[in-house]
Amino acid sequence: MSAAAELLAKLIAFPTQQANATRGPGDERALCEHVAPLLRERGADDVVVHTATRTDGSPGAYVFARWGTPKRIINVHVDTVPANDGWTRDPWTAHIEDGKLYGLGAADTKGAMAATLVALERERARDFGVLFSGDEEAGSRVMEAFLATPEARAIEEVIVCEPTARAAGTAHRGVLGQKATLLGPGGHSSKADLLPKPLAQLARLAVGLDDAGLRRLHDGPAGMTGTCLNIAGLAGGIAFNVIPARGELEWSLRPYPGFDRAAWDAEVARLVAAIDPAIALAVTIDHAPFACESPLVELCRPFAQRVGPLDFWTEAALWAEHGKAAIVIGPGDIAQAHAADEFVSLEDLAWAVDLFAELARR
């Protein structure tokens, strides 16, 4: 077993999943405390572990190590999603078969953690840093806590690790979740001709939003056209013979870099005004898109199979909002992330060690 695979097996054994209905939150700090001495052994001048509140209110954590004054860092998230249905083995026990290492977080993104640690054994870093941070899978509160620290200010370049199938990601969509709520008196369905019907009004809004998405199918830069507008849910009914007193509509879109958010908000407001001004709007999630021209591209290009946009959101957008040049790259494939029997190939781990060692050396 390679050094990276051996390390990864130990990291997988730490449950760091976000909470769900059947399992509570994992312990991000325990994993951070485990890797802190490993970073010190690799010559870090300073290693700090901090607790920060996750989006769900539970305690999360990050560990930050520096060699000198970091201008460039590798950033890997330590948390995972909950284990999906369909696992054929224990998600927290690593298993190697046919050149693949299986385990929850193997691709997303504990494989990158292991590769980083092995790379730092190979190369003595200088003016370099490593940030292993939590809460990425839920709401990025831990990252926001780190970005508010003095340590974050001097950083200029960030390698954000995600399973990109060896692509170097220079852009990706954002995520915008929105919700509309409408209240009414409710009542017996025999009075449905006379009383307000929140679900019917919200259904009209849903159709209007879907039409707005269809009108934008060809908007946006090459490789990221359209808004991926999704009508996610219409809820409120309790029985066939009851007029609901409350209706709720949820939708999302994935805005491309350069998306005109003000024009979108204005169009939604016009739809609401035309259907029922009593409809209340709220934003449930608001992650900005990402696009960055970075000198890291040329350093990564010899290792990358492709340079360009990615299909999924990453915390590179948060770094970019704070003026940092970022690129997204890492071992594994996003197709394996969040799936049962998640894996990363041993070849990808070795590739990542070479890449991260080069980034630390340069």
Domain boundary among 237, 264, 287: 287
Residue 21: what pLDDT?
Answer: 66
Of 136, 276, 315, 342, which one is the catalytic site residue?
136
Q: Are residues 24 and 46 in the same domain?
A: yes
Whether residues 158 and 248 fall in one domain: no
The closest of 163, 53, 170, 188 to 109, measured between CA atoms, is: 163
Same domain, 8 and 149: yes
Q: Which residue has the tokens 């370049």?
A: 157
- Give the tens place of pLDDT for each residue, 34-79: 999 999 999 999 999 999 999 888 899 999 999 999 999 999 999 9
In the listed set 287, 320, 340, which residue is the last one of a domain according to the structure? 287
- Asked which of 258, 287, 316 is the last residue of a domain, the reply is 287
Residue 79 catalytic?
Answer: yes
CATH code of the domain covering residue 229: 3.30.70.360
Instruction: Note down the domain range covering 182.
Output: 175-287
Q: Does one domain contain both 167 and 194?
A: no
Identify whether residues 44 and 151 lie together within a single domain.
yes
- Is 268 found in the same domain as 336? no
**Of the residues 79, 108, 157, 348, which is catalytic?**
79
User: 267 and 218 in one domain?
Assistant: yes
Residues 14 and 158 placed together within one structural domain of the fold: yes
Domain with residue 27: its CATH number is 3.40.630.10
Write b or e for each residue in 104-131: b if 16 or more Cβ atoms lie within 10 A of its Cβ, otherwise e.
Answer: bbbbbbbbbbbbbbbbbeebebeebbbb
DSSP assignment of 139-196: T-HHHHHHHTSHHHHT--EEEE---BTTEEEEEE--EEEEEEEEE---EEGGGTTTS-
Residue that has been written with the tokens 């050396």 in this structure: 361
SS3 of residue 83 by DSSP: coil
In this structure, the answer to whether residues 164 and 296 fall within a common structural domain is yes
What 3-state DSSP class applies to 255? Answer: coil
Same domain, 263 and 314: no
- Residue 334 and residue 268 in one domain: no
250 is catalytic: no
In this prediction, the residues of the chain whose per-residue pLDDT falls under 70 are 21
Q: Quote the number of domains for the chain.
A: 2
Q: Is 289 left (phi over 0), alpha (psi -120 to 50) or beta?
A: beta
Residue 92 identity: W
**Do β-strands 187-188 and 242-243 pair in parallel, antiparallel, or remain unpaired?**
antiparallel
Q: Are residue 133 and residue 184 in the same domain, yes or no?
A: no
